[in-house]
Amino acid sequence: MPADFLSYDPRNAFLPEHGIAPDDLKSIAAALDDVRDEVLAEAQLWADGVEIEPSKRPLDAGFHELPDRLLAEYRSRGPRSEVGRIKAAADRLSGEVEDVVVLGIGGSYMGARAMLEACCHLYHNEVPETMRRGRPRIYFEGNNVDNDALLDLERLLQARGDRWGIVVISKSGGTLETAAVFRVLLHDLQASLGRDAGELAKLVVPVTGKSGKLFDLATALGCQEVFEAPDGVGGRFSVLSAVGLLPAALMGLDVEQLLAGAAAMNDHFRNKRPEENIVLQFVGVAHLLETLRGCDVRVLSTWGKRLEAVGLWYDQLLAESLGKQQRGALPLTVVNTRDLHSRGQQHQEGKRDKFITNLIVERGSRDAAPLGKSDYNHDGLNELAEKSLADILRAAIEGTNQAYREAGRPTADLRLPRLDEYTLGQLFQMLMLATVVEGRLIGINPYGQPGVEAYKKNMNAILRQ
Ligand code: PA5
* Count of Cβ atoms closer than 10 Å to residue 14 Cβ: 17
Task: Tell me what pLDDT residue 116 has.
Answer: 98
Topology, domain 66-253: Rossmann fold (3.40.50)
Q: Is 207 in the pocket of ligand 1 (CB under 6 A)?
A: no
What ligand 1 atom has the least distance to the C-alpha of 208? Answer: 13
Its pTM stands at: 0.97
CB of 332 closer than 8 Å to CB of 315: yes
Report whether residue 241 contacts ligand 1, using a CB cutoff of 6 Å. no
Q: Kindly state if the Cβ of 311 falls inside 6 Å of ligand 1.
A: no
Q: Is 212 exposed, middle or buried (0-12, 13-18, 19+ CB in 10 A)?
A: middle
If DSSP codes are grouped into helix, strand and coil, which group holds residue 357?
strand
* Ligand 1 atom 5: residue of nearest CA: 106
Q: What pLDDT is stored for residue 19 in this prediction? A: 73
Interhelix angle 278-293/421-442, rounded to 10 degrees, is: 50
Distances (CA, A) of 454 to 60, 145, 423, 459: 21, 17, 37, 9
Q: Any idea which fold 7-49+272-451 has? A: Rossmann fold (3.40.50)
Catalytic positions are: 320, 341, 456
- Give the SS3 label for residue 393: helix
CA 237 to ligand 1: nearest atom: 1
Q: For 109-140, how does the pLDDT look when each residue is reduced to its tens digit (9 = 90+)?
A: 999 999 999 999 999 999 999 999 999 999 99
β-strand 297-303 against 354-363: which pairing, if any?
Answer: parallel
Distance CA(12)–CA(355), nearest Å, equals 10
Q: What is the pLDDT at residue 53?
A: 86
Segments of the chain assigned to CATH 3.40.50.10490: 7-49+272-451, 66-253
pLDDT of the residue at 51: 86
Q: What pLDDT shows up at residue 15?
A: 83
320 lines ligand 1 (CB under 6 A): yes
330 C-alpha vs ligand 1 centroid, how far in Å?
Answer: 20
Is the Cβ atom of 62 under 6 angstroms away from ligand 1?
no
The angle subtended at Cα 87 by Cα 144 and Cα 265, nearest 5°, is 80
Phi/psi of residue 128, nearest 5 degrees: -60, 155
Rounded to whole angstroms, the Cα distance separating 246 from 228 reads 11
Distance of CA 387 to CAs 373, 374, 383, 391, 399, Å? 10, 13, 9, 6, 16
Nearest Cα residue to atom 2 of ligand 1: 235
Strand 411-418 vs strand 164-170: parallel, antiparallel, or unpaired?
Answer: unpaired
| Cβ–ligand 1 contact at 423 (below 6 Å) | no
Out of 63, 172, 322, mutate this one to test ligand 1's pocket (max ligand atoms within 8 Å of CB): namely: 172
CA of 235 to the centre of ligand 1 (A): 5
Distance CA 10, CA 69 (A): 32
Neighbours of 403 (CB within 10 A): 15
One DSSP character per residue, 102-115 reads: EE--GGGTHHHHHH
Residue 408 C-alpha from the chain's centroid:
30
Tell me the residue length of the chain.
465
Query: Measured from the CB, is residue 323 less than 6 Å from ligand 1?
Result: no
Q: Choose among 29, 39, 28: nearest CA to 291.
A: 28
Q: Residue ranges of the chain with pLDDT lower than 50?
A: none
CA of 317 to the centre of ligand 1 (A): 11
